[in-house]
Structure 1
Amino acid sequence: MARMVELILREIPFKGYFQVSRYHLRHTQFKGGMGPRISREVFERGHAVCVVPYDPIRDEIALIEQFRPGAYAAGDPDPWLIEVVAGIIDANETLEDVARRESLEETGLTISALDYLGKHYMTPGGSSESIAMYAGCADFTRLGGLHGMADEGEDIRVFAVPAREAIAMVHDNRIRNAMTALALLLFESRRQVLRRDWQ
């Protein structure tokens, strides 16, 4: 049986910096036929790109740390999270444009090459956001300092760690951002090839 979704009504009960939409719909079920009408709120913030900046000569990854209001709202006692570079796709931007723009804004790094790692949904039960993931080749010679867009209230610290240490940070839960954890694990599966190709 073909999979189908019947959209009955879409409402927008909230629109601010982000948007919440309410979908009233029915969809086909595995047992056959259409299921009952359901209503679901979906958080809509656009789509994003993340980048794992990598220096193949040093075999290091650049990570950033910044305050995250979602972690604060969840009651995290330390809502400053360690992450990879990421940003929302603006109108008329390619994925690669976003990867390069955000890397420069958040780390000061110029990306010389990109390797696509995949596209994933982080919380598809309640958000429409997808994230395209890349590894990005960069020279870390002058890496350091504080970055971000002041007019957006960004306060971002950048630092480098050996690639193996970054992966260890996923496994011991020092990295608690799911997007970052997945991007680093995908990167690790490509690291030896990229290190060879980008040197």
Structure 2
Amino acid sequence: MTDFKRDDVEVVRRDAGFRGFYRLDVLTLRHRLFAGGWGRELRRELFVRPDAVCVLPYDPWLDQLVLVEQMRIGALDKRASPWMLELVAGLFDADESPEEVAHREAQEEAGLQLIALTPIARYFPSPGGSDEHVHLYCATVDSRGAGGVHGLPEEGEDIRVHVISREAALERMALGEIDNAASIIALQWLQLHGGALRAQAGPQP
């Protein structure tokens, strides 16, 4: 593993490239080389956005997942349909903890109350050009009665809730129908740890 630290990167200049719903910064920088010394100056665009929380709502008593479906602009030109089946997710507001974001987004996007949160991972989805850091969780939920259309109209959200079996979700992932990173990571984690969650769940509330 590398011994390099943050001080081994010199940001010569940071300019504002774009300010809108998201932000783009233009950095001029250089960094130390594995062979020794410093590399030449590089110009790189950095997509700057708040960190995110993604939650896989799982009902261990019925062995079911609650997933959400919504239109995703990033898939507009890459898929037959840009409506994607994915996890509950949202961005941090000021001074929120990851757990607070998880509970807020579960209520806003799916009308769900989270019973317990289990951390899965923290990761950078695209560190070559974005500073976004994702906090990924599995949440125990009671899926009975889940469904309908949710989201905040003032944010343009139109989110349909689906309750599907764990087996069906894994099959959709295998077929490439669930093809976003957070969902794939969480479902693979559930393949490894779902048995323990079911064993520890206790009586259904």
What is the CA deviation profile of residues 2-44 of structure 1, one whole-angstrom value per residue up to 9, with x for unaligned ones?
5211111111111111000111111112222211110100111
What is the CA deviation profile of residues 105-139 of structure 1, one whole-angstrom value per residue up to 9, with x for unaligned ones?
11111001000001011111111111110000110
Q: Secondary structure at the match of 2:46?
A: strand
Which shows bigger deviation, 173-182 or 140-149? 173-182
**RMSD between superposed Cα atoms in Å:** 1.3
Paired residue for 2:170?
Answer: 167
Residue 16, structure 1, aligned to residue 20, structure 2: yes
Paired residue for 1:27?
Answer: 31
For residues 128 and 87 of structure 2, the distance between their equivalents in structure 1, rounded to whole angstroms, comes to: 23
Cα distance change of structure 1 residues 2 and 136 upon mapping to structure 2, 3 Å threshold: closer
What is the CA deviation profile of residues 24-78 of structure 1, one whole-angstrom value per residue up to 9, with x for unaligned ones?
1111122222111101001111100000001110011111110111111x34321
Give, as a single letter, the amino acid of the residue that structure 1 aligns with 2:19: K
Paired residue for 2:128?
Answer: 125
Report the CA distance between 1:141 and its aligned residue.
Answer: 1.1
Count of residue pairs brought into register by the alignment = 198
- Gaps of at least 5 residues in structure 2 are none
Report the CA distance between 1:187 and its aligned residue.
Answer: 2.7
Report the CA distance between 1:195 and its aligned residue.
Answer: 1.5
TM-score (norm 1): 0.95
Q: Secondary structure at the match of 2:177?
A: coil
Paired residue for 1:90?
Answer: 93
For residues 31 and 65 of structure 1, the distance between their equivalents in structure 2, rounded to whole angstroms, comes to: 48
Q: 1:157 pairs with 150, 155, 160, which one?
A: 160
Which shows bigger deviation, 162-171 or 111-120? 162-171
Give, as a single letter, the amino acid of the residue that structure 1 aligns with 2:84: L
Give, as a single letter, the amino acid of the residue that structure 2 aligns with 1:46: P
Residue 193, structure 1, aligned to residue 196, structure 2: yes
Paired residue for 1:106?
Answer: 109
Q: Secondary structure at the match of 2:29?
A: strand
Q: 2:182 pairs with 174, 179, 196, which one?
A: 179
For residues 127 and 183 of structure 1, the distance between their equivalents in structure 2, rounded to whole angstroms, comes to: 21
Paired residue for 2:61?
Answer: 57
Q: Secondary structure at the match of 1:110?
A: coil
Give, as a single letter, the amino acid of the residue that structure 2 aligns with 1:48: A
What is the CA deviation profile of residues 149-190 of structure 1, one whole-angstrom value per residue up to 9, with x for unaligned ones?
111111111111111221222121011212211122123222
Q: Structure 1: which 4+ aligned runs deviate by more than 6 Å?
A: none
TM-score (norm 2): 0.92
Give, as a single letter, the amino acid of the residue that structure 2 aligns with 1:53: P
For residues 2 and 54 of structure 1, the distance between their equivalents in structure 2, rounded to whole angstroms, comes to: 39
